[in-house]
Amino acid sequence: MGIHERKEREKEQRREDILDAAQRVFFESGLATSTMDDIAESAELSKGTLYLYYKSKEDLYLTVMMRGMQLLYDAFSEVANSACAPAEMLSRLSGAYLHYFNLHRDYFRMMHYWQAPQFHKQVSEEVKLSCSVLNQRIWDLVNGMLQRCVDGEILRKDLKPAEVGLILWSSATALMMRIDSEEGIWREAFQLNLHDVLNLSNDLLFEAICTEKGRLELKALSNS
Amino acid sequence: MGIHERKEREKEQRREDILDAAQRVFFESGLATSTMDDIAESAELSKGTLYLYYKSKEDLYLTVMMRGMQLLYDAFSEVANSACAPAEMLSRLSGAYLHYFNLHRDYFRMMHYWQAPQFHKQVSEEVKLSCSVLNQRIWDLVNGMLQRCVDGEILRKDLKPAEVGLILWSSATALMMRIDSEEGIWREAFQLNLHDVLNLSNDLLFEAICTEKGRLELKALSNS
DNA sequence: TGAATTAAATGACTGATGGTCATTAATTAC
DNA sequence: GTAATTAATGACCATCAGTCATTTAATTCA
Whether B10 CB is under 7 Å from strand C: no
Of B71, B72, B50, B45, the C-alpha closest to B61 is B50
Structural domains in chain A plus CATH codes? 1-54 (1.10.10.60), 56-223 (1.10.357.10)
Determine the average pLDDT of the residues in B2-13.
82
Residues contacting residue A116 through CB under 8 Å, at least 6 positions apart: B109, B112, B113, B116, B177, B181
Q: CA of B197, closest CA in chain A: separation in Å? A: 6
Do the Cβ atoms of A32 and B109 come within 8 Å? no
Best B190, B194, B199 member to test A by mutation, with max A CBs in 10 Å, is B190
Structure pTM? 0.94
Q: Which residue of B has its CA nearest to A32?
A: B119
Percent of chain B residues topping a pLDDT of 90: 93
Whether B35 CB is under 7 Å from strand C: yes
Distance in angstroms: CA A57, C1' C9? 19
Residue A49, CA: closest nucleotide via C1'? C9
Is A67 a residue whose pLDDT tops 80?
yes
Q: Count Cβ atoms within 10 A of the Cβ of residue A108 and give its class: 0-12 exposed, 13-18 middle, 19 or more buried.
A: buried
Interval A170-223: pLDDT, tens: 999 999 999 999 999 999 999 999 999 999 999 999 999 999 999 999 999 988
Residues of A with Cβ-Cβ distance to B181 under 8 angstroms: 115-117
Residue A13 vs residues A6, A18, A20, A35, A58: alpha-carbon distances, Å = 10, 9, 10, 22, 20
The shortest CB-CB distance from B160 to any of A121, A181, A192 is to A192
Distance in angstroms: CA A70, C1' D27? 37
Task: Identify the sign of the CA torsion A145, A149, A151, A152.
Answer: positive
Within an 8 Å CB–CB cutoff, is residue A28 touching chain B?
no
Interval B154-199: pLDDT, tens: 999 999 999 999 999 999 999 999 999 999 999 999 999 999 999 9
Q: How many CB atoms lie within 10 A of CB A164?
A: 28
Distance in angstroms: CA A48, C1' D20? 10
Do the Cβ atoms of A190 and B143 come within 8 Å? yes
Whether B7 CB is under 7 Å from strand C: yes
Do the Cβ atoms of B167 and A136 come within 8 Å? no
Whether B56 CB is under 7 Å from strand C: yes
Q: CA of B111, closest CA in chain A: separation in Å? A: 11
Task: Categorize the per-residue pLDDT at B3 as very low, low, confident or very high, splitting at 50, 70 and 90.
Answer: low
* Nearest residue for D27, CA–C1': A3
* Rounded distance between C-alpha atoms, residue A124 and residue A134, angstroms: 16
Residues of A with Cβ-Cβ distance to B116 under 8 angstroms: 109, 112-113, 116, 177, 181
The shortest CB-CB distance from B174 to any of A159, A173, A194 is to A173
* Rounded distance between C-alpha atoms, residue B168 and residue B202, angstroms: 7
Interval B40-74: pLDDT, tens: 999 999 999 999 999 999 999 999 999 999 999 99
* Rounded distance between C-alpha atoms, residue B94 and residue B146, angstroms: 11
Q: CA of A32, closest CA in chain B: separation in Å? A: 5
* Rounded distance between C-alpha atoms, residue B181 and residue A89, angstroms: 30
* Rounded distance between C-alpha atoms, residue A192 and residue A188, angstroms: 8
**Would you call B210 helix, strand, or coil by DSSP?**
strand
DSSP A2-60: -HHHHHHHHHHHHHHHHHHHHHHHHHHHHHHH--HHHHHHHHTS-HHHHHHH-S-HHHH
Determine the average pLDDT of the residues in B4-32.
93
| Neighbour-count burial for B43-77, b at 16+ CB within 10 Å, e otherwise | bebeeeebeebbebbbbbbbbbbbbbbeebbebbe
pLDDT of residue A5: 79
Is the Cβ–Cβ distance between A197 and B171 less than 8 Å?
Answer: no
Is the Cβ–Cβ distance between B91 and B127 less than 8 Å?
Answer: no
Chain D, protein-covered positions (CB within 7 A)? 6-11, 15-21, 27-28
* Rounded distance between C-alpha atoms, residue A190 and residue A130, angstroms: 41
User: Which protein residues have their Cβ less than 7 angstroms from some atom of strand D?
Assistant: A 1, 3-4, 6-7, 33-37, 47-48, 51, 55-58, 121-122; B 7, 11, 14, 45-49, 51-52
Determine the average pLDDT of the residues in A79-102.
97
Q: Count Cβ atoms within 10 A of the Cβ of residue B110 and give its class: 0-12 exposed, 13-18 middle, 19 or more buried.
A: buried
Is A1 a residue whose pLDDT tops 60?
no
Write the Ramachandran bin of B159: left for phi over 0, alpha for psi from -120 to 50, otherwise beta: beta
Q: CA of B87, closest CA in chain A: separation in Å? A: 20
Whether B32 CB is under 7 Å from strand C: no
Interface of B with A in 51-90 (CB under 8 A): none
Task: Categorize the per-residue pLDDT at A120 as very low, low, confident or very high, splitting at 50, 70 and 90.
Answer: very high
pLDDT of residue A135: 97
HSE-CB at A64 with a 13 A cutoff on CA atoms is 26
